[in-house]
Amino acid sequence: MRSKASFRGHPIHPALIPFPFAFLYGAFLFDLAGRVAERPSWWTTGAYLGLVGIVAALIAAVPGFIDYFNTVPPKSSGKKRATKHMLVNLGAVFLFAVAWAIRGNAEVVPDSTVLVLEGIGIVLVTAGGWMGGVLVNRNQIGVDHRYARAGKWNELRIRPQTGQPTVVARSDELQVDQMKLIHIDGQRIVLARTEGGYVAFEDRCTHRGGSLAGGVMIGGVVQCPWHGSQFECRTGGVKAGPAETPVRTYPVSEESGQVKLRLPTG
């Protein structure tokens, strides 16, 4: 699903990641080569690359945090993977920071402890990068998935109106088989238009938690982007697995050109 930290539709986090990756790898390799070849200018370069790499990693982490909290579907296998990705990369940055602190000065030769810490940091940053790739390629985090007639990505954050249905769209806002993701009262709900009118259902595939708003809707049936489960949008019933449990649906009404959503009380 589309990234919340993007510029002109392009996710920012993956665009920044090559910088800390290159700097931290460079830091380790220059330190190691400088130590082996006894070349002070090489390990001094390594020290500064490490410092720049730490700063670049922290900058790249900011859009990553935004996507972690706002884009990755909650209670999903993708969220677990994203949590590991975050912890592993933060661990790598921490190790490089400790290595820098131990060293204290860029001109000081990196001792074995510094090299070991940086080496472990490189292993972690490589594993974290691998997980990040899986998050994009398999979990489609940051992918602006558009199928025929889907229209632009449509998302709304709204507070529920107490004791009454909440207005979530204009009647003419969506075409048939288009969807809109609504964040309301801590829940993610998909509003969709079918041939028979508007419907609403939970934005969580019952298989492993994929975002249905990031899927494809055709003929009133939505298909999960992760493993292809299909659900009938009006009833939430499973049309095709691997999911076995229906998705939750919510009552929707149309009145005076407005679409209203009613959240269950209690």
Q: Which is nearer to ligand FES, 3 or 229 (CB)?
A: 229
Site string for ligand FES, 179-218 (x = CB under 6 A): --------------------------x-xxxx--------
Q: Which is nearer to ligand FES, 100 or 231 (CB)?
A: 231
Q: Which is nearer to ligand FES, 103 or 207 (CB)?
A: 207
User: Min. distance of Cβ 60 from ligand FES in angstroms?
Assistant: 28
Closest CA to 190 of 198, 177, 176, 201: 201
Name which of residues 218 to 247 contact ligand FES (CB under 6 A).
224, 226-229, 242-243
How many residues of this chain bind ligand FES (CB under 6 A)? 12
| Exposure letters 129-140 (e unless 16+ CB within 10 A, then b) | bebbeebeeebb
User: Min. distance of Cβ 59 from ligand FES in angstroms?
Assistant: 32
Strand order across the beta sheet in which 166-170 lies? 166-170, 258-261, 252-255
Q: What angle do CA 201, 203, 206 make, to 5 degrees?
A: 90
Q: Which is nearer to ligand FES, 88 or 212 (CB)?
A: 212
Count helices and strands (H / E) in the chain.
5, 14
User: Min. distance of Cβ 107 from ligand FES in angstroms?
Assistant: 53
Q: Which is nearer to ligand FES, 81 or 260 (CB)?
A: 81
When asked if residue 23 is in the footprint of ligand FES (CB under 6 A), the reply is no
List strand residue ranges (DSSP E) for the chain, in order.
6-7, 10-11, 155-158, 166-170, 179-184, 187-194, 197-202, 216-218, 221-223, 230-232, 238-240, 249-250, 252-255, 258-261
User: Min. distance of Cβ 76 from ligand FES in angstroms?
Assistant: 7
User: Min. distance of Cβ 155 from ligand FES in angstroms?
Assistant: 19
Q: Which is nearer to ligand FES, 110 or 220 (CB)?
A: 220
User: Min. distance of Cβ 69 from ligand FES in angstroms?
Assistant: 20
Residues 6+ away with beta carbon under 8 Å from 87: none
Q: Which is nearer to ligand FES, 173 or 203 (CB)?
A: 203
Copy the structure tokens of residue 225.
């982007």
State the angle between helix axes of 40-70 and 18-37 in degrees (0 to 180), rounded to the nearest 10: 160
Closest CA to 151 of 193, 91, 209: 193
The answer to whether 89 and 97 are in contact (CB under 8 A) is: no
User: Min. distance of Cβ 257 from ligand FES in angstroms?
Assistant: 34
Residues binding ligand FES (CB under 6 A): 205, 207-210, 224, 226-229, 242-243
